[in-house]
Amino acid sequence: MIRYRRGCGGLFVLFRIQGTSWPFGILPGLLAMAESLIFSYVMELDEEIRDRRKFIGHPYAFQLFAYLLGFIMVFRTNFAYQRYWEAIGAVNNMAAKWLDGAIMGIAFDAEGSKDRPLLDGATDEASCQPHSKFGAKGGPTHSEFYSEIVHLCSLLHALALMHLRGDENLDNIEFAYPTAEGKKPLSVSSKMHLYGMPTFDPNRLDFAAQKLPVLGGLTPEERLVLETDSLGSPLPTQARVALVEGWFMRRLLARQKFEQGDSFSTAPAILSRLYQVISDGTLWFSQASKVAMTPFPFPYANMISLYLCIFTFLCPLLINGIILDVALRAVLVFVTVFAYHALNNIGDNLEDPFLPYDLNELPLPMYQHAVNMRLFAFGVVPKYTTCGRSPTPSIHHGREKIGSRLLISVEGPMNGHFEREREREREREREMRESPQCRTSGNCGTVLEGYTKYSKWGLDCLSNSRRQAHFMSLLLRSGNVLLRGFPPRCSCARCVGPESW
């Protein structure tokens, strides 16, 4: 896939040579132009062709053939683009479903508490220790289990891409990330190269020479099973995908049945969704395989090739019979034949989107790298900080950023959700404006206020005039809702309010 630069009236696109289709029309155009020049300089042939009473009275007969060829070429290009677009959608849906299964398995297994509403991350110290309640069941810690799940999901996706591009060589799988037991990356965005995950280089255009990175690599035991079957015959690439999918589900089931972890605390109806999304990913893999394994119909492609050869031979005869100037003949013949063959090559490029030898095909190594990055991000959660020193219920905002958002850290139960009539809210606001300045404003914690009406997801953007803090959406009741945090050691009318609050 080529990401091209736009602008300057299309000059950036016009003068880009790599990946274009027009060079494939140059040779047929030159052959047709040579034929036209031969007919022009052989006087007997030229006089015969110019005589419209004897040779070409009207070009209508040739126009029918040219229109027919143009229509079937346009249809072929349209069908090829449909295959290309279907392949992109299937690969992205396949990855999304398998990633859903991975994050569900990781999140269901993570331990947490009321002080950790996002649960423990894979790189947290608590995840590297046995479960606080069920560690006696044995099995790896959550951090080790996370490493196993992301490895299996990454391997499953890599083998699926290898099948789609027709690659049977397991040497094209490379080590992308060491088994991260106890490793704590300092920065998710800037330290990826330390874990063997280099940024995809778009200048490396030979996808066949690019290996697919797998988190944890391919172990000798896994390679032994994936290489050959029980008779020593090479294992089909589609069977390799089925094998690793089975390992993926078996590992999740073994964790749930025999080992420590919190997945047993999840309702069975919700837990069953974990296996459903993995199955959905395999369904989308089959959709992508349909495009990869089923070529464009041979009779259609064969007929287009035959018609193009006939067109290349007949076009100089027609143009020579109508145009009298020799130079203009040659130019028009070249342009016409060149355009038809270049258009035909567009369909050739698009109809096999997984072919790794063409510059316009899908960048499978980049897709694999993107999946690895998302798997790596599944184990990262922000650290929590508290602004107050009192055990009374309060809501504080952490300073750890993920992307550009600030997350909320909750201390104590969230019992600050109360429904109030709109008139009562306005009354309260008036009282706060008229009350004297808070005596402890220098040490007072943040007061959060926000309103929402008839919304399932309330407080989409909470703001405070002092700190201008913005928060993620919180799931609240419908109707008018007031969310308030009570700061410690402050008893002023502005911060505490009436007893009913």
State how far Cα 340 lies from the chain centre. 35
- What's the whole-number mean pLDDT along residues 434-447? 43
Residue with tokens 């270049």: 342
Beta bridge partners of 457: 475
Residue with tokens 């109508």: 322
Instruction: Report the chain's C-alpha Rg in angstroms.
Output: 33
- What's the whole-number mean pLDDT along residues 467-479? 30
- Band (pLDDT 50/70/90 cuts) for residue 422 is low
pLDDT at position 453 is 34
Q: 249: which 2 tokens?
A: 């589900």
pLDDT at position 203 is 44
pLDDT digit string, tens, across residues 248-304: 999 998 888 888 777 777 778 888 888 999 999 999 999 999 998 888 889 998 999
Q: 210: which 2 tokens?
A: 């690019």
- Using alpha carbons, list the distances in angstroms from residue 232 to 134, 218, 229, 247: 43, 19, 5, 21
- Band (pLDDT 50/70/90 cuts) for residue 97 is very high
pLDDT at position 321 is 85
Q: Which of 128-132, 307-311, 454-458 has the highest mean pLDDT?
A: 307-311
Average pLDDT, the chain: 72
pLDDT at position 423 is 65
Residue with tokens 């009321």: 114
* Domain regions of the chain by residue span: 19-57+297-350, 93-295+361-377, 416-483
* Residue in 282, 128, 152 with CA at minimum distance from that of residue 217: 152
pLDDT at position 137 is 76
Give 389 or 422, the one with higher predicted confidence. 422
- Band (pLDDT 50/70/90 cuts) for residue 152 is very high
pLDDT digit string, tens, across residues 362-385: 888 889 989 998 998 888 887 765
* Residue in 334, 341, 352 with CA at minimum distance from that of residue 69: 341
Q: 161: which 2 tokens?
A: 């891409």
C-alpha to C-alpha distance for 383 and 398, rounded to whole angstroms: 8
Helix (H) or strand (E) holding 429: helix 422-434
pLDDT at 461 over 80: no
pLDDT digit string, tens, across residues 33-80: 999 998 888 888 878 777 777 777 778 788 888 999 999 999 999 998
Give 477 or 303, the one with higher predicted confidence. 303
pLDDT at 214 over 60: yes
Looking at residue 177, the DSSP 8-state letter turns out to be E
- Using alpha carbons, list the distances in angstroms from residue 360 to 79, 84, 125, 210, 347: 16, 10, 46, 15, 11
**Could you give phi then psi for residue 213, rounded to 5 degrees?**
-75, 135
Looking from the CA of 493 toward its CB, the CA atoms found within 13 Å total: 10
pLDDT at position 357 is 64
Residue with tokens 């909320």: 408
State how far Cα 426 lies from the chain centre. 47
pLDDT at position 232 is 79
pTM beyond 0.85: no
* Residue in 481, 474, 470 with CA at minimum distance from that of residue 457: 474
pLDDT at 441 over 60: no
Contact 486, 496 (CB under 8 A): yes
Q: Among 4-13, 102-111, 352-361, 396-405, whose mean pLDDT is lowest? A: 396-405
pLDDT at 469 over 70: no
C-alpha to C-alpha distance for 111 and 133, rounded to whole angstroms: 10
Looking at residue 261, the DSSP 8-state letter turns out to be S
Q: Which of 131-145, 236-250, 474-488 has the highest mean pLDDT?
A: 236-250
Contact 17, 23 (CB under 8 A): yes
pLDDT digit string, tens, across residues 98-126: 999 999 999 888 887 777 778 877 767 77
Looking at residue 479, the DSSP 8-state letter turns out to be S
* Residue in 465, 73, 142, 83 with CA at minimum distance from that of residue 306: 73
pLDDT at 211 over 90: no
C-alpha to C-alpha distance for 286 and 255, rounded to whole angstroms: 28
